[in-house]
Amino acid sequence: MLRLVLRAKGLGKVYRTPSGEVTALTGFDHTFEPGCVTAVVGPSGSGKSTLLNLLAGFDTPTSGEVWIGNDAVHALPERERSRLRLRRFGFVFQSFNLVAVLSAEQNVALPMGLAGIPSALRRRRATALLERFGLQHRADHLPHRLSGGERQRVALARALANDPDVVFADEPTGSLDSAAGSKVMDALAAVAAEGRIVVLVTHDPTLAGRAQERLRLHDGRLVEVGAPAVLDTRTSIAPHDVGAA
């Protein structure tokens, strides 16, 4: 399957509040390539979550564009954006977001059911994905019977259920210890190696340091782009500012 690039051009978001306008993101330009884990870092309030929501089509930009291949995410009506998220994007969250009354296998199969995939195929693919992440022996377990690391790997298996082009991971190791977090990062790296785009939002410098690319946001602007090895790990703006007005 040919994988597509994810492109943001001039992306901005302004929220209107009773006390006035709040600019959450300004002039963000970047192309996310297949086969790459891109870590988005920056202090709280820097625009990381806003960026993720705009790239994934959960929110619409005040200005700018988001494209996945030839699909203009920013211009689609909500129903079409929901369909695109189901088929082209996968999601992993800090809180796992597993359905408590469904087994691990049923959680993985859920997006396939929403996409209209026949039950026999759903079951086979869910089983294969759980095996991939070493969880076949946990297939019939409810989420509360799984460890945090196991729940996050089930969530990652679910994110891959409809063979997405992009996997968004929002603080995926924030609730895990270092050993479990390392396994999740190993899994994300393997997902990218298959030719998918992985966009990772994290406060964890160790996790960000394992990405192929790192973007640093500060006050809603992209201020650094580069490989983790050459980027400053501090939250202050580096001298080679690429996004300041």
Alpha carbons 130 and 81: distance in angstroms, whole number: 28
**pLDDT at residue 2, rounded to an integer:** 66
Shortest CA distance to 71 belongs to which of 61, 81, 62? 81
| DSSP H helical ranges for 89-138 | 104-114, 119-132
Structure tokens at 134: 């070493």
Alpha carbons 228 and 188: distance in angstroms, whole number: 16
Q: In what order do the strands lie in the sheet with 6-17?
A: 20-32, 6-17, 63-68, 71-72
Give every CB contact of residue 122 below 8 A, 6+ residues apart in sequence: 109, 112, 113
| DSSP H helical ranges for 44-202 | 48-55, 78-88, 104-114, 119-132, 148-159, 178-193
Give every CB contact of residue 23 below 8 A, 6+ residues apart in sequence: 12, 13, 14, 220
**pLDDT at residue 41, rounded to an integer:** 94
Alpha carbons 58 and 81: distance in angstroms, whole number: 8
Alpha carbons 162 and 196: distance in angstroms, whole number: 13
pTM of the entire predicted model: 0.87
Do residues 228 and 39 make contact, with C-beta atoms less than 8 angstroms apart? yes
- Tell me the three-class secondary structure of 139-155, residue by residue: CCCCHHHCCHHHHHHHH
Q: Domain ranges in the chain?
A: 33-48+81-230
- Using DSSP bridges, classify how beta strands 71-72 and 197-201 pair: parallel, antiparallel or unpaired: unpaired
Task: Give residue 36's Cα distance to chain centre.
Answer: 12
Query: Mind listing the pLDDT tens digit of every residue in the chain (245 residues)?
Result: 567 899 999 999 999 989 889 999 999 999 999 999 999 999 989 999 999 999 999 999 999 999 999 999 999 999 999 999 999 999 998 888 999 999 999 999 999 999 999 999 999 999 999 999 999 999 999 999 999 989 999 999 999 999 999 999 998 888 888 888 888 888 899 999 999 999 999 988 888 888 999 999 999 999 999 876 444 333 333 323 333 32
* Topology of domain 33-48+81-230, CATH: Rossmann fold (3.40.50)
